[in-house]
Chains A and B, each alone.
Chain A
Amino acid sequence: MKLHDSSISNETDESLLAKYLADEDLTSLGKLYTRHSEMVYYVCLRYFKDEEKSKDAVMQLFEQLIAKVKKQEIKVFPKWLYVVTKNYCLMELRSSKNNYEISTDEFVEFPLHMHPSETYEEKEVRLSQLEHCIEKLPDKQRISIDLFFINQKCYKEVVDITGYSMKDVKSYIQNGKRNLKNCMEKSDE
């Protein structure tokens, strides 16, 4: 599986970014942004649900990037670009007339340590707690969680097995995951 479209450029993100920062050569930034423009477009489409608005957003974000790139320290460009894109979309939605309600929790911050290191004993304790919490979940959520996470079935397979709709399966898994998280946090207390 290829990570980048080789037709765009063989240079790494870091080298293109460094080149732009050094020379202010917009061609380099253009290459870099082009490489990730699909991601930007689909993230925008996910929030705006509008093709034209998403296209405009792609170009607007490129304009913003010209200045923003120089002002911020960027370690992983695609991740940074995603954060910028999502925040842009949320800000646009907030300022739009649709009065789209967005929780501040939805704004993304750069993760620090997603998975702090644990010892084996700690993991065992947490797994026991997890099993206990799974048993407490509602049946539909528990079944969906069990099939997806433990039996490693894809959504389509879960749909086929359970007879739930795809939307329900996704919802059960999402909600079940959140309930498990809450349960685990209570257990930690």
Chain B
Amino acid sequence: MSRFTSDIKYLRQYVNGELSPAEMHEIERAMHEDEMLMDIIEGLEHEKMQGYPNPIADLQSQIKSRALKENSTTLFTFKKLAIAASIMVVLSAAAIYFFTPRMDVELANTVIKPAEVPTEIQNNSDVALDSSWIAHSEQVEQSQGMTAATSSPQSKTPAVVPSKKIDPQTLIVYEAKPKLPVVIEGSRKFDLPQQEIIHTNEGRQSQMPQTELLTSRAVAARQPTPSTTSVAKSQADLQRMNLDPKTKADLMNILAKQSQEEKTEVTEKLAENTISDILFNGNSLANRKTEESITRSSTASENILPKTIQNGNPTVGWKAFHQYISEQLQKRGFVHYSANISFDLDKAMKPTHIEIKTSSDPNLNNHILEILKKGPTWENKDPNHPIFIRIDSADNKN
């Protein structure tokens, strides 16, 4: 490349004949060795011949503005934008995760200490099973995994109690909200015949507490409350309890408020629907658990309430029903058995749409279907939902 090529001004002087012969010759010799120089000079000569104005100043300003424009638009290149977008997505996901209210756990926020509430209140099946309430005593033998927060029926303020060793005698009230899953953690033991156990880890108390997810979906009212009848019963029970006057008064007030609210809308049926739905869904979810879990929860060696889960009753009574089941299955060679079953009732109040949710032996299923169809008639507490029962050879022994 000739040294002249980048000095257009000098070349213009050559084209204009302003240089000496020697200087011109020097350029012309360079032209013969440098095609680029020749092209530039020919361009300059064309410009001179045509009388074009020098456009360089205009061109250079265009280039400058173009460069600045490009810079302003490329402050964030695609690569940088992609990185920024990725970061935003991650941050958004994190924000959603951390700041969205936890909908899976809705714990009530009243802790009634045993000194204030004697065990009689727990034994009141109406209170325990009324509406969407599940009340039971917790015998906490583990130091971890227990989250407890309780609330009065009127107060919806959620509270989270940090994990700590809870007084074994602490009564914890769990409130199930409609459409919200309820997580029950920690060990639990039922001693009451009318209470329903969903899951237990009694057999592995030294291990981490199990978590069970229930979904309550049927309650129409957002804040379930005891029915009028159950409130009245509870009030009567409270009177019989050996409580200090202040606690008794507080509890009576609470129950009275509930009673007033419930007079207009809440019926006993609704409350039963609620609990039956919780039970139904709870068992449905339980069915999705591993086979190990199902088997374990149905073994008699564990301290599970060996009571059938149901929202319907055989007209012959449970004892006769279990006897019938046991005899029929033994005839078919099944001594030990357990199964969770749901079914509807036909017009004759006989089981129909029988569904074996779980069973200890798949061979049992057809036999159970046959036995139930031929079995006693039923009465259903909740015609809107299927009856859910559990049969277990251990039940019959008891």
Contact = CB atoms under 8 A, between A and B. Distances in A.
A41 B55 contact: yes
Contacts of A177: 32
A33 interface: yes
Nearest to B38: A46
Given A24-B74, A78-B1, A79-B36, A30 B56 contact: no
Given A46-B46, A154-B24, A177-B32, A39 B40 contact: yes
Interface string A37-72: 111011111110101001100110010001000000
A153 interface: yes
B1 A38 contact: no
B398 to A, nearest CB: 81
A55 B5 contact: no
A72 to B, nearest CB: 17
B64 A30 contact: yes
A4 interface: yes
A41 B33 CA distance: 21
B119 interface: no
Interface in A128-164: 148-149, 152-157
B66 to A, nearest CB: 6
Contact of A155 (B7, B28, B58): B28
Contact of A37 (B10, B22, B46, B63): B63
A43 B40 contact: yes
B92 interface: no
B68 interface: yes
Contact of A46 (B39, B52, B55, B74): B39
Nearest to A8: B60
A131 to B, nearest CB: 19
Nearest to B19: A154
B56 A3 contact: no
B62 interface: yes
Interface residues on chain B, size class? 35 or more
A2 B269 CA distance: 102
Contact of B63 (A30, A54, A148, A152): A30
Nearest to B46: A45
B67 interface: yes
B123 to A, nearest CB: 78
A78 to B, nearest CB: 6
Given A38-B56, A79-B36, A157 B21 contact: yes
A126 interface: no
Interface residues on chain A, size class? 35 or more
Given A30-B64, A59-B66, A154-B24, A46 B6 contact: no
A55 B59 contact: yes
Contact of A154 (B25, B35, B66, B74): B25
A86 interface: yes
Main secondary structure of the interface of A (DSSP, over half): helix
Contacts of A42: 8, 39-44, 47
Nearest to A80: B1
Contact of A156 (B10, B21, B52, B74): B21
Contact of A62 (B24, B43, B66, B77): B66
Given A45-B47, A46-B46, A76-B1, A4 B24 contact: no
B363 interface: no
B59 A39 contact: no
A4 B46 contact: no
B3 interface: yes
B5 A44 contact: no
A3 B7 contact: yes
B17 interface: yes
17 contacts: A1-B3, A27-B67, A37-B60, A41-B43, A41-B56, A42-B47, A43-B40, A49-B46, A55-B55, A55-B58, A78-B1, A78-B6, A82-B1, A149-B29, A154-B22, A155-B24, A173-B32
Given A39-B36, A42-B41, 11 more contacts: A1-B10, A30-B64, A38-B56, A43-B43, A54-B43, A66-B70, A82-B1, A82-B39, A114-B33, A156-B24, A157-B25
Interface of A: 1-4, 8, 24-27, 29-31, 33-39, 41-47, 49, 51, 54-55, 58-59, 62, 66, 76, 78-79, 82, 86, 108, 114, 148-149, 152-157, 173, 177
Interface of B: 1, 3, 5-8, 10, 17, 21-22, 24-25, 28-29, 32-33, 35-36, 39-44, 46-47, 50, 52, 55-56, 58-60, 62-64, 66-68, 70-71, 74, 77
